[in-house]
Amino acid sequence: MKNNVGLFLTKRAHLNPDLEGFIDVASGRRITFAEWNAGANRAAALLRARGVAKGDRVALLMLNCPEFAECFFGLAKIGAVVVPLNIRLVADELAYILNDSGATVLIYGEEFAAAVADLEARGAAGTRVKHWIHVAAPDGGAPRADFADDYDELRAEASDAEPAVGAEEDDLLYIMYTSGTTGLPKGVVHTHNSAIWACITITTTSEMRYRDRYLLMLPAYHVGALTPLTGNVYRAVTSVVMRSFDPLRAWELIDQEKITVALAVPAMLVFMDQVPDTDRFDTSQLRWIMSGGAPVPVTMIEAFAKRGIEVHEVYGLTEVCGPACLINPEDALTHAGSTGKAFFHTEVRVVDEDGNDVPPDTPGEVVVSGKHVMKEYWNQPEATAEALRDGWLHTGDVAVADAEGFVYIRDRTKDMIISGGENIYPAEIENVILSHPKVRDVAVIGQPSDKWGEVPLAVVVPADDTLAADDVMGHCVGKLARFKLPKAVEFIDEVPRNPTGKILKRLLRDRFPGPAAD
Amino acid sequence: MKNNVGLFLTKRAHLNPDLEGFIDVASGRRITFAEWNAGANRAAALLRARGVAKGDRVALLMLNCPEFAECFFGLAKIGAVVVPLNIRLVADELAYILNDSGATVLIYGEEFAAAVADLEARGAAGTRVKHWIHVAAPDGGAPRADFADDYDELRAEASDAEPAVGAEEDDLLYIMYTSGTTGLPKGVVHTHNSAIWACITITTTSEMRYRDRYLLMLPAYHVGALTPLTGNVYRAVTSVVMRSFDPLRAWELIDQEKITVALAVPAMLVFMDQVPDTDRFDTSQLRWIMSGGAPVPVTMIEAFAKRGIEVHEVYGLTEVCGPACLINPEDALTHAGSTGKAFFHTEVRVVDEDGNDVPPDTPGEVVVSGKHVMKEYWNQPEATAEALRDGWLHTGDVAVADAEGFVYIRDRTKDMIISGGENIYPAEIENVILSHPKVRDVAVIGQPSDKWGEVPLAVVVPADDTLAADDVMGHCVGKLARFKLPKAVEFIDEVPRNPTGKILKRLLRDRFPGPAAD
């Protein structure tokens, strides 16, 4: 068969037509692979009928709904290029991405009707969007704007026959804009081939099994959900999909849906761990939760181990379609804090500024190669050349690897604090502070210091109001080298994070600009 | 990483160094992936030191021993081309294959020293073999011939460092000679890429799991063992390897080695099922036995189901590096007798003589496409062009597919009996006769008939001496259409089979030439 991601669904529907493929928790819809594939074919047909051809960009602004899932595979079949949009963006940010990608069609969920109406009222805000397609919410009823077509109406009229396949392995599959915690978002371009190799290496490397039941809690516009969604079709795995994360609901679903495996960012683990009375849920089917997006606190690995649930730390990036490093199940506790070694079809090295391997146990930048690395940043040849050098993706993340090859992610280069000439990795300090029972959440940032250059500031969300700054500082003494000790503690109500759990440190630096007292 | 099958072992040794990779039942050696990889590196080094370079052919004539396994991966790393030799061949047949492949090195097990000495004494029998390397048997002690080097001595002196990688995905990996039940053997050429895609699609399609324990009973010179051996490295699965099949020993190993999955030809299932008192073995870890190479008798699927063991019928060929069709676990009993549908990255069609799809439930020839199809027959452009047409491998096997796509293999085209204008598939008759409790084994062949063209003859191995020809014929009445009923029954002591369980019908036709009485 042609190497086209859309045909993954065609093939799976042929092999396992009656197996549940997509369970939409919000609406209660239980969609078999055959039904999902028929829906994808309808999506392909209705978009072709609107003039969408190979290479055209089609933007999706939706929660994790079945319509997103069928549009993604339908567009892949006909060779159109999916532009999944971050649902937290405001109208101007959306306009930027629609403009940059050149999307001509926007399919949007009812939940985002106001932002879309704003865009449309401004003459599409300078973008090339010509078709607007409105997807009703399960409990919706908001009126559809005059300028928009109704997805369900178009879908009902469309054929569910397999469309002519419009793309092969070197053609573009999607452009995914990075979350843009700094600067303007860049469009990461993946081909069918890079997405396919991501699925292949996840299937080969992870402890996933035929007919697993996979709880998907991350937003589908992010690689942390889109790659599993694709990989689950690839491996005959049922995706149980939440439209938005809720920690109590996650436990309920693990029980009710007999979830066997899941993926969560570390912040989700923290919130799940704080849910009271979870003993009432049957979690005996759940073998593991893969966790990444930020270093996983060792306390969380241990807390879930006590529940009989393995946490497998994974290290991934949008630029490599997900997979970079994954810890083996049998190493997860003995090497807690490590994200393991490179995936099977992947190479990971830790290098100095000249691109040479650093010795074991020495911090350096992580670089990744493999067939699942992105093709380019869309329309940004300079940024592409900076990121992809000699076939290696330069991640901007700092790690050390030990002599056996176990990789420990320290932090993002740009989050590193340099204090008195020493490198300090905020994630390490965050891990220590999070192990204090009265700490609910924490972020560590650098503040300018006349004496040291920078010093660490701990921004803490207390679990109760008896927690004092001295408690936090005292907790760190003996657990961290002196130069790593936070010099001050600030309390806040909530650590700002993007929807995939990444701490928005820029916002914290704006709020606590310093300088620090010496 | 480069797409080189040898690097599968390098990578697996990096990811799971201490996991048992290869358990050699005969010698009791338990070899971790790290040890196996070090051995492969030594094999690569000792052969490079003997002048073996990229593209050179190296023949292996061995039982399923660790030396075979390390030479295979070592040769793959340096880009030499492996020629695995059928261990049942006599000196003249070996000479033909050595000559056809142009092998310059022969590594042989002590068990085959006599045939090799015969070859060498005749000036290498016209072949290009310059180096002879003798591998001692675990309980051996036969003197090594003067002309041969000792493998263990060379190995001890060789470096275990990773060699420079000598091949990438489009380079040749091995030439495997088909069993040659008719005509001269042809060398099926597989590249690294075709072997890699065989591993990928098996991992994605089958119910194999990370760290399974796989009982390997077929000979490693055959695709039915060489592809699993490679796929097990790929998926972190332990290979428990028998040097030759023994049905009682198989049950013992399933118990002692906590075997989780296995592969067997149908004849092996029959012999295993006939072992008495198997209740004493703990088979609770064994989830399934994949079975193929010939149609699997439904009686065997049912007999193993009663033991709590699923039998998954697979359809494979040397020319596609193994995988063509596989039944889903959940379909194995409901569709017993079917080999399921095409593997995930594979397409299978049933076609007429013009290559057009036949309607459902209509017999036709099986054709296969996928990235795991062979590159060519070695030095046989005409045979290659005949087999590979428009990207489809023409198998010479007859099957029907139902409307849902379930494939039922009838038989090999060349084994088909045409009687009174009707096609008769011997395997169907064999299945019925095998369900008689007093039948141990059976083969059905065609005999010439003046009246009908051909008629079926049943050649039966009785389970006890009370079985009469009339019992066999009477058992078929009502279970088979009249024209399919055997016209006669002959009794023999053993059905001649090749080591992979394929019935050698040519020998039976020679012994029972007919013509049949009308």
Of A168, A184, A215, the residue at which a domain comes to its end is A168
Of A14, A205, A209, nearest to B209 by CB-CB distance is: A209
In a domain, A144, yes or no: yes
CB within 8 Å: A329 and B210:
yes
CB within 8 Å: B207 and A203:
no
More confident residue, A345 or B410: A345
pLDDT band, very low/low/confident/very high, at A179 (cuts 50, 70, 90)? low
CB within 8 Å: B344 and A15:
yes
Instruction: State yes or no: pLDDT of B181 exceeds 60.
Output: no
pLDDT band, very low/low/confident/very high, at B514 (cuts 50, 70, 90)? confident
CB within 8 Å: A204 and B200:
yes
> Which residues on chain B are in Cβ contact (under 8 Å) with A404?
17
> Which residues on chain B are in Cβ contact (under 8 Å) with A200?
200, 204
pLDDT in tens, A199-226: 999 999 999 999 999 999 999 999 999 9
Average pLDDT score over residue span A84-111: 92
Cα distance from B202 to chain A (closest Cα, Å)? 10
Average pLDDT score over residue span B36-60: 98
CB within 8 Å: B328 and A207:
no
Give this complex's ipTM: 0.88
Count CB atoms within 10 A of the CB of residue A477.
9
Smallest CA–CA distance from A349 into chain B, residue:
B1
Which domain, by its residues, includes A282? 192-413
Cα A156 to Cα A38, A41, A42, A141, distances in angstroms: 11, 12, 8, 19
Instruction: Tell me, yes or no, whether B117 and B223 share the same domain.
Output: no
> Which residues on chain A are in Cβ contact (under 8 Å) with B11?
344
Cα distance from B353 to chain A (closest Cα, Å)? 22
Instruction: Tell me, yes or no, whether B152 and B230 share the same domain.
Output: no
In a domain, B465, yes or no: yes
> What pTM does this model have?
0.89
Cα distance from B401 to chain A (closest Cα, Å)? 13
Instruction: Tell me, yes or no, whether B236 and B352 share the same domain.
Output: yes
> Which residues on chain B are in Cβ contact (under 8 Å) with A211?
207
Instruction: Tell me, yes or no, whether A140 and A263 share the same domain.
Output: no
Q: What is the pLDDT of residue A92?
A: 83
Which of A370-379, B82-91, B396-405 is least confident? B82-91
Residue B30 amino acid letter? R
pLDDT in tens, A284-338: 999 999 999 878 889 999 999 999 999 999 999 999 999 999 999 999 999 999 9
Residue B458, Cα to own-chain centre: how many angstroms?
Answer: 25
Q: What is the CATH number of the domain that holds B277?
A: 3.40.50.12780
Instruction: Tell me, yes or no, whether A406 and A420 share the same domain.
Output: no
pLDDT in tens, A114-164: 999 999 998 877 889 999 999 999 887 778 999 999 999 999 999 999 999
Average pLDDT score over residue span B255-266: 96
Which of A348-362, A393-407, B97-111, B497-511 is least confident? B497-511
Residues in chain B whose Cβ is within 8 Å of chain A: 1, 11, 14-17, 200, 203-207, 209-211, 234-235, 328-329, 341, 344-347, 369-370, 404-405
Smallest CA–CA distance from B15 into chain A, residue:
A341
- Which of B200, B211, B230, B331 to mutate to test binding with chain A, by most A CBs within 10 Å of its CB? B200
Nearest-angstrom CA–CA distance, B100 and B102: 6
Instruction: Tell me, yes or no, whether B227 and B311 share the same domain.
Output: yes
Contact by Cβ (8 Å): B445, B457: yes
> Which residues on chain B are in Cβ contact (under 8 Å) with A9?
none
CB within 8 Å: B344 and A11:
yes
CB within 8 Å: A16 and B328:
yes
CB within 8 Å: A344 and B206:
no
CB within 8 Å: A234 and B344:
yes
Instruction: State yes or no: pLDDT of A182 exceeds 80.
Output: no
Smallest CA–CA distance from A233 into chain B, residue:
B204
pLDDT band, very low/low/confident/very high, at B419 (cuts 50, 70, 90)? confident
Nearest-angstrom CA–CA distance, A90 and B248: 70
Average pLDDT score over residue span B373-400: 94
Q: Is B75 helix (H, G, I), strand (E, B) or coil?
A: helix
Q: Where are the beta strands (DSSP E) in B300-345?
A: 310-317, 322-326, 341-342
The percent of residues above 70 in pLDDT, for chain B, comes to: 98
Instruction: Tell me, yes or no, whether B200 and B286 share the same domain.
Output: yes
CB within 8 Å: A209 and B204:
no
- B268: its two tokens: 């092996």
Beta carbons within 8 Å of B417's beta carbon, 6+ residues apart: B423, B424, B425, B426, B444, B445, B446, B454, B455, B456
Nearest-angstrom CA–CA distance, A154 and A132: 12
Nearest-angstrom CA–CA distance, B154 and B131: 12
Smallest CA–CA distance from A347 into chain B, residue:
B1
In a domain, A116, yes or no: yes
> Which residues on chain B are in Cβ contact (under 8 Å) with A345?
1
Instruction: Tell me, yes or no, whether A265 and A153 share the same domain.
Output: no
Nearest-angstrom CA–CA distance, A284 and A254: 9
Q: What is the CATH number of the domain that holds A97?
A: 3.40.50.980
Q: Max alpha carbon distance in chain A (Å)?
A: 70
Q: What is the CATH number of the domain that holds A436?
A: 3.30.300.30
Average pLDDT score over residue span B164-176: 96
- A58 bridge partner residues: A82, A105
> Which residues on chain A are in Cβ contact (under 8 Å) with B347?
1
Instruction: State yes or no: pLDDT of B24 exceeds 90.
Output: yes
What are all long-range contacts of A312-315, with beta carbons under 8 Å and residues at least 24 apart?
A312/A206, A312/A207, A312/A288, A312/A340, A313/A337, A313/A338, A313/A339, A313/A340, A314/A263, A314/A290, A314/A339, A314/A340, A315/A339, A315/A366, A315/A397, A315/A407, A315/A409
Average pLDDT score over residue span B265-280: 93
Q: Where are the beta strands (DSSP E) in A256-385?
A: 261-264, 288-291, 310-317, 322-326, 341-342, 346-351, 364-370, 376-377
Helical spans, DSSP H, in B178-243: 192-205, 223-234
In a domain, B178, yes or no: no
Start-to-end C-alpha separation, chain A: 66
Single out the residue of B210, B251, B245, B217 nearest to residue B231, CA to CA: B210
pLDDT in tens, B68-95: 999 999 999 999 999 999 988 888 889 9
Of B168, B203, B218, the residue at which a domain comes to its end is B168
Of A200, A210, A328, nearest to B15 by CB-CB distance is: A328
Instruction: State yes or no: pLDDT of B515 exceeds 90.
Output: no
In A457-474, which positions are buried (b, 16+ CB within 10 angstroms) versus exposed (e)? Answer: bbbbebeeeebeeeebbe
Backbone angles phi, psi at A497, to 5 degrees: -135, 155
Average pLDDT score over residue span A99-105: 97
Contact by Cβ (8 Å): A130, A218: no
- A81 bridge partner residues: A57
In a domain, A17, yes or no: no
Of A413, A445, A463, the residue at which a domain comes to its end is A413
**Torsion sign (Cα): B332, B334, B336, B340:** negative
Q: What is the pLDDT of residue B293?
A: 83
Instruction: State yes or no: pLDDT of B186 exceeds 80.
Output: yes
Average pLDDT score over residue span B415-431: 82
Instruction: Tell me, yes or no, whether B408 and B433 share the same domain.
Output: no
Instruction: Tell me, yes or no, whether B274 and B422 share the same domain.
Output: no
Nearest-angstrom CA–CA distance, B211 and A207: 9
- B149: its two tokens: 């080097």
Instruction: Tell me, yes or no, whether A328 and A214 share the same domain.
Output: yes
In a domain, B173, yes or no: no
Instruction: State yes or no: pLDDT of A181 exceeds 60.
Output: no
Single out the residue of B252, B217, B237, B244 nearest to residue B26, CA to CA: B244
Instruction: State yes or no: pLDDT of A88 exceeds 90.
Output: no
Q: What is the pLDDT of residue B330?
A: 97
Instruction: Tell me, yes or no, whether A426 and A486 share the same domain.
Output: yes
Average pLDDT score over residue span A59-69: 97
- B435: its two tokens: 């369900």
- Which of A210, A334, A335, A402 to mutate to test binding with chain B, by most B CBs within 10 Å of its CB? A210
Cα distance from B231 to chain A (closest Cα, Å)? 10
Contact by Cβ (8 Å): A419, A483: yes
Question: Average pLDDT, whole number, for chain B?
Answer: 93
Count CB atoms within 10 A of the CB of residue B29.
14
Nearest-angstrom CA–CA distance, A194 and A179: 20
Which of A246-250, A484-488, B18-22 is least confident? A484-488
| Structural domains counted in chain B | 3
In a domain, A436, yes or no: yes
CB within 8 Å: A346 and B1:
yes
Of A204, A404, A405, nearest to B203 by CB-CB distance is: A204
**Torsion sign (Cα): B48, B54, B55, B61:** positive
pLDDT in tens, A223-258: 999 999 999 999 999 999 999 999 999 999 999 999
